[in-house]
Amino acid sequence: MGERRLGAREPGRGAGLEPRSEFELKLHDRAAGTCLGDVERERRRQKAVSVAAYAFLISVSLPLVAGYGWLILNSFSSELAHGVWPSGFTLKHWRFLVESPLPDYPDLWRTTWNTVWLASGVAVTVVAVSIPTAYALSRVKFRGRSAILALALVLNAFPGITLLIATNYVLRALGFLNSIPGVLLVKAALMTPLGIWVMKGFYDAVSWDVEMSALVDGASRIQAWYKVMLPQVMPGVAAIAVFSFIYGWSEYIYVVTFIQDGAAWTLAGYINAIVGDFRFLDYGLLSAAALFYIAPVLLLFLFAQKYLMRVTTGGTKGGG
């Protein structure tokens, strides 16, 4: 923060205070002395604030680091002294990968496959639905555009979760209850307003001249979209795809509410069952299973962060 130190009170500068006599020079020196003292004090004060900022950030973030660190350490440790300090490396908590924790659990790998299918289904649906609609909202002039835009914005802020009881009924009527496609469509529907919103932002950022020149060169609107626009909004497509994938992968409430049949569970249902059966009993199993579930999210979080950061502020999750 070098620029902040740029002195509060640098002596005499620009104020027409050129010293004229010996006496004034002395006076000025003394004044300059005090002022330099001020700068020094200011610098110290800034440093104190800086130290306080670091101390605050570290102390409030520590529990977060501890929580995620525990997941990793505990899943590989035979024992945690004081519940915190790991000792003894072991893989026994991971035996759920090869044998079911209880006989009535569905197959883990099938469950994992279900989760992949739900997550990618949500991502593909959100992208496929958002791209054309956002294009129309951003680039086409028609009557009612402003009304549709308003509707998209309202839906974006609307808490879809309040419709859960009725959605259960609708899914049952459509024959989608107890199946992945049902949850997939509901989740995609909830994320689409955000997807449209983000994509419209990306389309808006493409210069009109670029598209116009393609049109002038004789391209049709579809060609102009495909050849000129699409490549430029690909980061937006990547952003909503990654974001929807993570939320589809992580989905909890719709999975455990709408899917009773273990064969159609995703990992959310599977781990929910582990929590039900082994809470308080086997934190090793709990943390290993949780780590298994969160691993793809962590990888995407680490390697696709530049895309994620473009969407997270729009958070569909109210963060309770």
**Residue 19 or 314 having the CB closest to other proteins:** 314
Mask for 138-167, x = binds other proteins (CB under 8 A): xxxxx--xx-xxxx-xxxxxxxxxxxxxxx
State the Cα–Cα distance between residues 254 and 318, nearest whole angstrom: 16
Mask for 24-43, x = binds other proteins (CB under 8 A): ------------------x-
Cα 230 off chain centre by: 24
> Which pair of tokens denotes residue 232?
């430029």
**Residue 31 or 129 having the CB closest to other proteins:** 129
State the Cα–Cα distance between residues 65 and 98, nearest whole angstrom: 30
Tell the smallest beta-carbon distance from residue 239 to other proteins (Å). Answer: 13
Segment contacting other proteins by CB under 8 A, of 3-11, 19-27, 102-110, 227-235: 3-11
- Closest by CA to 157, choosing from 30, 314, 319, is 314
Segment contacting other proteins by CB under 8 A, of 13-21, 24-32, 105-113, 308-316: 308-316
Tell the smallest beta-carbon distance from residue 76 to other proteins (Å). Answer: 15
Residues 6+ apart with CB under 8 A from 175: none
Tell the smallest beta-carbon distance from residue 250 to other proteins (Å). Answer: 4
Residues 241-260 that bind other proteins (CB under 8 A): 246, 249-250, 252-253, 257
**Residue 109 or 208 having the CB closest to other proteins:** 208
Angle, CA 269 vertex, CA 263 and CA 274 arms, to 5°: 110
State the Cα–Cα distance between residues 50 and 276, nearest whole angstrom: 46
Residues 68-107 that bind other proteins (CB under 8 A): 68, 70-71, 74, 80, 82-84
Residues 220-239 that bind other proteins (CB under 8 A): 221
- Is 311:194 a contact under the CB 8 Å cutoff? yes
**Residue 155 or 230 having the CB closest to other proteins:** 155
Phi and psi, residue 2, nearest 5°: -55, -40
Phi and psi, residue 250, nearest 5°: -85, -10
Please count the residues of this chain forming the interface with other proteins, following the rule CB under 8 A.
112
